Structures are given as structure tokens and as C-alpha cells.
Amino acid sequence: MEFHSFLIKYGEIGIKGKNRYLFEDALMHQIRFALQEVEGSFRVHKSHGRVYVDCEGSYDYEEATGALSRVFGIVGICPVVRLESKGPEPLKQDVVAYMEERYPDKKKTFKVESRRSDKRYPLTSMELNCVLGEVILEAFPEMKVDVHHPDILLHVEVREEIYLYSEIIPGPGGMPVGTNGSAMLLLSGGIDSPVAGYMIAKRGVALEAVYFHAPPYTSERAKEKVVDLAGLVGRYAGPIRLYVVNFTEIQLSIYENCPHEELTIIMRRYMMKIAEYFAKKDGCLGLITGESIGQVASQTMQSLAATNAVCTLPVYRPLIGFDKRDIVKISEKIQTYETSIQPFEDCCTIFVAKHPVTKPDLERIEKSEMKLVGKIEELVQTALESVEIIQIRS
């Protein structure tokens, strides 16, 4: 069946009162962005308090619905057949043809729900419901009416044209990206941080990202994996500016000067500081990490507190209470899992100690860091100045 439009159903953004149009505009912007990669030409517009995507000419249906189902803020996508406005008699024939083609299996219950925004139309909504219901029953005697829980709820909307639709493809929910500021995601090549970015973006937050690599200890391929992951998260989150920071000298300096069991914590603290620098420079309102309590030594409550202590921006950790298998499930759903499990070295694992502290004491950590004073400032400065910026999905 050929669909000419999609009616976009949105949930939470409907409740925003006077701000509603801002949310709708952000939603339309994100829809246009998502459809850029789909073959075909589309017109996204608002009409009678609803958002529509009109498909102009031929297009790829699977790709189009796939792209729309990644736009946060959408709760449902209804494929619409558009008919030229016509009197009740030809409309009856079109409705029967629609049911015939759409539902090969006729052992179904249905209900017709009409809306008439063109009040000049000769029949009222109630009359349309009756007339169209009758004609469907006549054409398909196996079908039955059920006004409470129909298998098929056929919407008939009469306006300049007539819209028929009866299916809702679920959208991802959430809020349109861009309606809630932006945040800086610490993106590693692992499973967790892409999921964390996805979850915060789903609440309407635009993303930037920072990746710390340590050449030659980490390879170019490990970096490409992170670029790939940013691209996959960007299918939902939109364009992402990715900062790639060369962390080698900082890591070596920590390795040479600090107790080995504290390496990971001190390294994580420097990552957070540098991430916060870029975040503030770009007006981000927070940092995002993929941490979850107790997952590894650097994510105990004490370790998280020690890492957190270097930041003044809020740090969002959407996975904080998740078990690994729950995180894996989401990463499979959003299709980052296969990329995340590719075996490339991570800068955290290369310098990792055999027995890292699990209950770091902040004062002791700060004392250890004093050994870096006088050398580390320049190394951090160099890392900031030599950053590589990669624009993902512009």
C-alpha cells in the first residue's frame, strides 16, 4: 500500500502550555534532520495542531519509518493514505478499497472514527462513522464492529483532503533534542557511555562528546571505533561535536609520579577536568558518564565521590542504578552493542594497576596529585591546545 503522509503523534511535548510551539518546532527540526538520510523528498509541517510529514513522490517506506522511529519526542507514527476531498459515495469506495488492501485477513473487529475539520462536508462525523461502518460490514461480512476494543481503529479525517489511517508505529518517546540545552558526554569505546548519551539525549539534551586516547598505546582503530559510536548515538541525538584529546603524556606523568593503585582514579579526575573545560567553553550544562555504582573499582561510591570532587558542573550518570545486562539490552536496542564489543584497547585499561584502590580517600588522592604540580599544568595545556575536533553527522 502506498502511504502519502505520516501523522506524527507526540506525547509529553503536548503538555507544555505556551511553550508548546517551541517544542513542536524543535520536533519538526529533528524530523527534517532525521529524514535527510532517507531517499525521497519530504515536507514537514504543522496543521490543525498536528505535525505531518508529507511524502512527495516515491520514497523508501522502511527507511522513512526507521528514521522517524529514532526521533525523540515522537510516540507514534501513523502512515496516512491521502485522498482528494470527495463526496460520501466515492469516499465509501475508497474506504472499502483501503480495508481490502490493508487487511487481507478479514476476521477482525473495527471501529470508524471520523473527524471533520471542513464543516462544509455534507455529513457530520457521526453520520460518517455510521455510513462508512455500514459499507465496510456490507463489503466484508466477516468483519465486526467493536466500539470499545477494536482490532482496527480506522481514522477518517476530512479537511482540504481526506486522510485515512489505522496503524500506529511506536516512536521512541522522550523530548525533542535541543529543548533541554546541551551536555558533554565522556565517550569511551565501551558499552556503557553510548547508552548513557542516548538516555540523556532522549530527554531533549543535545550532545557534545569527548574521547581520551593515548597513542601509541591506543590505536587509530580504537579512535575510529569511538567515531563510529558517536555516529550511532547521533542517529538519535543529531549532530555531535567530538573532541579527541591526546591523553598520553598526562597518563605517563601520573604513572611515573603517583601510587599505582591510585592511577585510575587520578586519571579519571583529569579526564573530568578536561571534559569540563570543553563543556564550559561551549555552554554545556553538565557532563555525562556511563558509570554505574560498583561496576568496577573506579565506580564504587567512594571512587565516584573522588571523581566528582573535581567538577563544578553537574555530572549526569543515567546508568547509575543499572545492572550490566540491562545496559547491554539498551545497547542492543539502539544498535551500539556490536560496535562497542569490538576488541580495541582502551586508554584506561593500559595503565591499570593490578590492585586498584576501591575506597579512595579524597585527601590522600589530593596529596598524591601534589606530586604532579609543576609538570602537569603544561601537559594539560598542551592536551587542550592540541585537541582534534571531529564533527559527527553535520
Interface positions with ligand ATP (CB under 6 A): 186-188, 190-193, 210-212, 271, 289-291, 295-296, 298-299, 346-348
From the list Mg ion, ligand ATP, none, pick the one residue 302 interacts with, judged by a Cβ distance below 5 to 8 Å according to partner type: none
Cβ distance to ligand ATP smaller for residue 124 or 391? 391
Cβ distance to Mg ion smaller for residue 190 or 360? 190
Q: Do 156 and 128 contact (CB within 8 A), yes or no?
A: yes
Cβ distance to Mg ion smaller for residue 67 or 191? 191
Measured between alpha carbons, how far is 4 from 8 in angstroms, rounded to an integer? 13
Measured between alpha carbons, how far is 279 from 125 in angstroms, rounded to an integer? 54
Cβ contacts of 35-39, under 8 Å, gap ≥ 24:
35/64, 35/67, 35/68, 37/63, 37/67, 38/63, 38/64, 38/67, 39/63
Cβ distance to Mg ion smaller for residue 282 or 323? 323
3-state helix, strand, coil in the chain (%, to 5): 45, 20, 35
Cβ distance to ligand ATP smaller for residue 1 or 341? 341
- Phi and psi torsions of 5, nearest 5°: -150, 165
Neighbours of 60 (CB within 10 A): 13
Provide, rounded to whole angstroms, the least separation between the CB of residue 192 and ligand ATP.
3
> Beta 161-165 vs 152-158: how paired, if at all?
antiparallel
From the list Mg ion, ligand ATP, none, pick the one residue 211 interacts with, judged by a Cβ distance below 5 to 8 Å according to partner type: ligand ATP
Strand order from edge to edge, sheet including 388-392:
315-316, 287-288, 182-186, 206-213, 240-246, 388-392
Q: Do 13 and 175 contact (CB within 8 A), yes or no?
A: yes
Provide, rounded to whole angstroms, the least separation between the CB of residue 191 and ligand ATP.
4
Provide, rounded to whole angstroms, the least separation between the CB of residue 189 and Mg ion.
7
What is the DSSP track for 338-371?
HHHTS----HHHHT--SS--SS--HHHHHHHHHT
Residue nearest to ligand ATP (CB): 190
The single residue listed with the C-alpha cell 469506495 is: 93
Cβ distance to Mg ion smaller for residue 190 or 204? 190
Cβ distance to ligand ATP smaller for residue 60 or 326? 326
- Phi and psi torsions of 84, nearest 5°: -60, 145
From the list ligand ATP, Mg ion, none, pick the one residue 182 interacts with, judged by a Cβ distance below 5 to 8 Å according to partner type: none
From the list Mg ion, ligand ATP, none, pick the one residue 289 interacts with, judged by a Cβ distance below 5 to 8 Å according to partner type: ligand ATP
Provide, rounded to whole angstroms, the least separation between the CB of residue 389 and Mg ion.
22
From the list Mg ion, ligand ATP, none, pick the one residue 383 interacts with, judged by a Cβ distance below 5 to 8 Å according to partner type: none
Among the listed residues 101, 106, 105, 111, the one whose alpha carbon sits nearest the alpha carbon of residue 81:
101
Provide, rounded to whole angstroms, the least separation between the CB of residue 152 and Mg ion.
48
Among the listed residues 286, 310, 313, the one whose alpha carbon sits nearest the alpha carbon of residue 380:
310
From the list ligand ATP, Mg ion, none, pick the one residue 291 interacts with, judged by a Cβ distance below 5 to 8 Å according to partner type: ligand ATP
Provide, rounded to whole angstroms, the least separation between the CB of residue 9 and ligand ATP.
33
In the complex, the residues that contact Mg ion under the rule CB under 5 A are 188, 190, 346
Provide, rounded to whole angstroms, the least separation between the CB of residue 386 and ligand ATP.
16
Provide, rounded to whole angstroms, the least separation between the CB of residue 385 and ligand ATP.
18
Measured between alpha carbons, how far is 347 from 5 in angstroms, rounded to an integer? 48
From the list ligand ATP, Mg ion, none, pick the one residue 10 interacts with, judged by a Cβ distance below 5 to 8 Å according to partner type: none
3-state secondary structure at position 43: strand
Cβ distance to ligand ATP smaller for residue 76 or 190? 190
From the list Mg ion, ligand ATP, none, pick the one residue 191 interacts with, judged by a Cβ distance below 5 to 8 Å according to partner type: ligand ATP
